[in-house]
A and B are shown apart, each in its own frame.
Chain A
Amino acid sequence: MLKLRKLQENSLFLLPSVILTLALGIYPLVWVLRYMFYDYAGYGQELFVGLDNFRRLFRDDLFWQSVVNTLVFAGGKLVLTIPLSLLLAVILNASFRGRNFLRAVYFMPTVISTAVISVVFYILFNAYNGMVNQQLMKYGIISDPINWLGPDHAMLTVILVAAWGAVGNYMLLFLAGLQSIPRDLYESASIDGANAVQRFTRITVPMLGPIMQVIIMLAVIASLKGYESIMVMTEGGPIGKTEVMYLYLYKLLFPVSTGSPVEQQIGYGSAVGFATALIVGAITALYYYFSRKMNRVF
């Protein structure tokens, strides 16, 4: 009887979370799963089309191009972000004056709105009179302006901006991991004659394994789903060079109309949303499988 009462009390405490999850998570999910099989513009007729949306998906070159772009973008961002944020975390984990100030400085981009950051970088990387080109030319590094947001360099530029915005966040997570490594391990290693590089490779990296696995997983998911800065800087262009999966999905569900009207494609957008979720899920699962050794701390 007492146990039952306890169960009821616990259920009451859990109720708000359950309701919110149902209303804001499960219900929209069911809604999307239903509309995948419909031709629907957000109003008017809901035509059941069976698997038509998926047939269209398989022949949709724009979508598959966006998948490739997403992999390039995510890969590039991770290659830059993870080593850099780990390096910063190790440096800022040491004791020196101004350490907290520098931590705050590196973490700042995480706090600022992505849209604001992207607008600033859009101006800085402007091919015609952007500050980046002006400075590079001033110091003789380049002779002609680089078209940073043109077809050849746009992907590199959006990766650089995305990495700049993410480094501080992962640095903080790595710092939390570093602070959980017992100090006496380093002291013992020093007594045994290990230098700084050996301490890093033999103690820091292995001990960070479990938390690193989680951090990289979060970074993988965030990189695959990121599109905000791209939307502001290039809108997926030029000629689709930076169109990533989630930006493509966003444009289907919330088309921006200039001049002639464009209709929402709720049905097809739902199918694309489902496919993108599958792709992100599959990549994350693969990563988790191949990184399982990181979990072993001896």
Chain B
Amino acid sequence: MLKKSSALIMALTIMLVLAACGGNNAVQNNNQATEKPAQTENTQKEKPAQKTTITYWTDDRHDQEYLKELITEFNASNSDNIEVELTVLSENFNQSVDIAFSGNQAPDLLRIKSANTGVFVKKGYLEPIDNYLTDEMKTKFDSLIIDEVNRFGGKLYSLPNTGLTLRLVYNQELFDKAGITAPPATMQELVDAAKKITEVGKSEGIYGFALNYKNPKGAFDRSIREILSLSGYQGLGYDLKTGKFDFAPYAEVVEYFKQMWADGSILPGAESLDIDPLRAQFAAGKIGMYMSFSTEPGVYQDQFPTDINWGGTLAPTINGEIKGKSEIVSAGTWFGISASSKHKEAAWKFMEYMYADDVMTTYHEKGFGIAVVPSISEKAKQPDIKGMEGFLVGQHDAMWPATPSITPEGANYGDVFFKYMLSGGDLNGLVKDLNQRYNDALDKAVEKGEAAITPLADFDPSKL
């Protein structure tokens, strides 16, 4: 009796502990599953008449209503009895995806962005789509297939639809008030304009410039990145010609930002400013200029409606010469098929439906994003949203080659340069230290096979 009970208790304990620890196994199983050909449902053959339900997860919220319309239409019209279920996640998308994959509850389709595509590929979450592409699609997207953006290890995982352009956002009324006749074309002009606006507006709580410095890297990645790419340098501190990090050009721009801070041209409390409180102050006419993505026209239409006369224009360059192209960001990817999906064919059918010309054209025309596919941008009408005209893709916009994604030891460049802006220091020493740490991390990533460096000795940013 005693033995039986003890054995029962022991068995129960072991079972439960193993079950609790099963998550890790699930991850391993998942990773294995990505290496093997995906298992089709040969054990449970579906009848053609049976409904196939596929799930799509996205963290985009701005296009929700239109997306729901499209899904309703697809569900009603497709001849394969496929039904798409939409899940919109607001926060922690990447973590939710991680949990779903480790628990074998991953969606069939994912919204993937440049910030997570490479990581998702490495984690084995995504299915290559090379075998699904039609010749027509290959032609349509040919110029937009970029290594380390949507193609990894020679396999294609997603296709582009829209991208984000970066611009200087300015308040025309404050320009007029300060006697500024044209948006600044050089960094010195930007510093001067910010100073002038502050001089004429400070008594009313108006300041020349602001950025969301609560997250310095986030602030610089929407401003200095653009100034550098237009000036002919890669915007995240990477030198495409040498295949190494070099923050010297970055430091040159930081000096001007530091000057604006010293001049008192920055909105007080910008050290703790998030992007939405910044937008709220801009909408209230309290900020002369800031830099951001092509999401802003939509923001000022819906989120912070404003009557001020504002616009978007090309960012200034270091010395007024445009030697490069303004980088179009988040442009290479849209949909990705889950490697663990049991309905990859059905997922592709919905993906194909979404990549149709009329859908992509409407995306652009409704202002959900700026079309980067040439055949779409050529024929799509301008979105009818105030301010959008300043953000449209033009002759000075282009996608740049991808840069290796690495995480250095110690502080990132955003924190380092922001600290310099506030408290000074030896800028050359800081650049040297950043170069050292970033290149060390790059070497390690190459050694581990997580990054590939291909120096582009003949790279010419003006020819992008």
Contacts and interface: CB of A to CB of B under 8 A. Distances in A.
A27 B9 contact: no
A44 B35 CA distance: 13
A238 B329 contact: no
Nearest to B21: A27
A15 B268 contact: no
B422 A151 contact: yes
A259 interface: yes
B462 interface: no
A45 B272 contact: no
A93 B103 CA distance: 51
B368 interface: no
A11 B450 contact: no
A61 interface: yes
Given A19-B16, A61-B410, A240-B415, A154 B272 contact: yes
B182 to A, nearest CB: 28
Interface in B207-226: 213-218, 221-222, 225
Interface string B26-38: 0000010000000
B269 A149 contact: yes
Contact of A147 (B269, B415, B423): B269
Interface in B1-30: 2, 5-6, 9, 12-13, 16-17, 20-21
A24 interface: yes
A42 B24 CA distance: 11
Given A11-B9, A23-B21, A257-B115, A238 B122 contact: no
A257 B17 CA distance: 34
A150 B272 contact: yes
B214 A239 contact: no
B20 A127 contact: no
A282 interface: no
A259 B115 contact: yes
Contacts of A42: 98, 123
B301 interface: no
B268 A238 contact: no
Contact of A234 (B98, B205, B272, B419): B272
Contact of A265 (B95, B216, B407): B407
B6 A60 contact: no
B236 interface: yes
A265 B403 CA distance: 20
A148 B410 CA distance: 27
Contacts of A148: 269
Contacts of A147: 268-269, 271
A240 B17 contact: no
B106 to A, nearest CB: 14
A86 interface: no
Contact of A149 (B216, B271, B410, B448): B271
B305 to A, nearest CB: 19
A159 to B, nearest CB: 15
Interface in A55-93: 56, 60-62
Contact of A258 (B118, B221, B423): B221
A250 to B, nearest CB: 12
B217 A128 contact: no
A289 interface: no
A237 interface: yes
A248 to B, nearest CB: 11
A128 B218 CA distance: 21
A263 B419 CA distance: 23
Interface in B433-458: 448-450
B356 interface: no
In this complex, the member of B124, B221, B272, B449 whose beta carbon has the largest number of chain A beta carbons within 10 angstroms is B272
B17 A263 contact: no
A257 to B, nearest CB: 5
B9 A44 contact: no
Contacts of A12: 9
B133 interface: no
B267 interface: yes
B405 A263 contact: yes
B122 A259 contact: no
Interface string B104-132: 00000000001110110011100000000
A44 B123 contact: yes
Contact of B9 (A15, A39, A61, A239): A15
B448 A8 contact: no
A4 interface: yes
B123 to A, nearest CB: 4
Contacts of A258: 215, 217-218, 221
B115 A263 contact: no
A195 interface: no
B188 to A, nearest CB: 26
In this complex, the member of B13, B269, B281, B412 whose beta carbon has the largest number of chain A beta carbons within 10 angstroms is B269
A241 B450 CA distance: 33
B181 to A, nearest CB: 28
B154 interface: no
A260 B222 CA distance: 11
B6 A238 contact: no
Interface in B229-247: 236
A22 B19 CA distance: 12
Contacts of B450: 44-45
Nearest to B119: A261
B137 interface: no
Given A19-B20, A147-B269, A238-B272, A126 B217 contact: no
B218 A239 contact: no
B430 to A, nearest CB: 13
A234 B115 CA distance: 23
B271 A23 contact: no
A239 B217 contact: no
B271 A128 contact: no
Contacts of A238: 213-214, 271-272, 418, 422
B464 interface: no
Interface string A92-113: 0000000000000000000000
B448 A47 contact: yes
Interface of A: 4-5, 8, 11-12, 15, 18-19, 22-24, 27, 39, 42-45, 47, 56, 60-62, 122, 126-130, 145, 147-151, 154, 233-235, 237-240, 254-263, 265
17 contacts: A5-B2, A8-B5, A12-B9, A15-B13, A27-B21, A43-B124, A45-B450, A126-B277, A130-B269, A147-B268, A154-B272, A235-B215, A237-B272, A240-B415, A258-B218, A260-B403, A261-B118
Given A60-B409, A237-B215, 6 more contacts: A11-B9, A23-B17, A126-B272, A237-B216, A254-B95, A259-B221
